[in-house]
């Protein structure tokens, strides 16, 4: 498994791809007895104001998200809810999940299975970044909500076009404030190769793939 790139958004500024965020986002060792209880504002199920991103973002401006996979039986602790987590308070997914009722027993291996493995995935995981100055390649107006998608570079788990479609659809429903501004950004060399191949196909469907 690859490690989480410290400069995750280097693909946006240099055209170079970082290794995809993998199990490091589970934050092993970050959750412990002192984490008991999660504040009521630890996440939002819907982004209905543009300001929501700034309020939830970590120090680098990114917001972690988890979205339910359509057609998969909902499971604790998120069930059918989208979750845009307070990334300043919870920089990783797993320490956030274990503070929610029903998520206390989730392990590192559970996280990998539920977020990265296609056969067992219950939630799509990734990050958002709001770029006010970036002109949307389809809409033509400034303001683009970049989203990444966590995948594993292994047989059966690599990114495919339908993954981008699924996350785009989920974000459109759960982040109505950003309708018409979404843009997928690949986060690894493997993802970039796939994104390059499907960019035109997805654009014809109204889904922007941004390869800066």
Please report, in angstroms and rounded to a whole number, the separation of the first and last CA atoms in the chain.
25
User: What is the per-residue pLDDT across 28-61, written as a single tens digit (0 to 9) for each?
Assistant: 333 333 333 344 579 999 999 999 999 999 999 9
CB 149 within 8 A of CB 169: no
User: What is the per-residue pLDDT across 125-134, written as a single tens digit (0 to 9) for each?
Assistant: 999 999 999 9
Element (H, E) at 114: none
Cβ-based burial of 205 (10 A; exposed 0-12, middle 13-18, buried ≥19): exposed
pTM (predicted TM-score)? 0.84
SS3 50: coil
User: What is the per-residue pLDDT across 96-148, written as a single tens digit (0 to 9) for each?
Assistant: 999 999 999 999 999 999 999 999 999 999 999 999 999 999 999 999 999 99
Nearest to 162 by CA among 71, 75, 93: 71
Beta bridge partners of 146: 129, 183
- Cα diameter, the chain: 49
Nearest to 96 by CA among 151, 47, 147, 56: 56
User: What is the per-residue pLDDT across 2-23, written as a single tens digit (0 to 9) for each?
Assistant: 333 333 333 333 333 333 344 4
């Amino acid at each position: 498994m690859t490690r989480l790139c410290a400069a995750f958004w280097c693909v946006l500024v240099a055209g170079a791809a970082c290794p995809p965020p993998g199990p490091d986002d589970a934050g092993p060792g970050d959750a412990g007895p002192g984490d008991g209880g999660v504040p009521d504002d630890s996440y939002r199920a819907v982004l209905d104001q543009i300001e929501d991103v700034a309020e939830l973002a970590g120090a680098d401006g990114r917001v972690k998200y988890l979205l339910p996979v359509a057609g998969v039986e909902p499971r604790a602790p998120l069930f059918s809810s989208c979750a845009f987590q307070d990334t300043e308070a919870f920089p990783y997914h797993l320490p956030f999940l274990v503070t929610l009722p029903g998520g206390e027993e989730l392990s590192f291996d559970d996280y990998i299975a539920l977020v990265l493995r296609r056969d067992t995935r219950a939630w799509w995981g990734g990050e958002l970044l709001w770029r006010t100055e970036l002109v949307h390649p389809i809409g033509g107006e400034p303001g683009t909500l970049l989203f990444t998608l966590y995948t594993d570079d292994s047989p059966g788990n690599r990114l495919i076009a339908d993954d981008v479609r699924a996350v785009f659809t989920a974000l459109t429903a759960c982040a109505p404030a950003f309708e018409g501004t979404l843009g997928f950004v690949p986060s690894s060399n493997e993802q970039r190769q796939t994104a390059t191949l499907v960019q035109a196909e997805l654009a014809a469907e109204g889904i922007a793939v941004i390869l800066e």
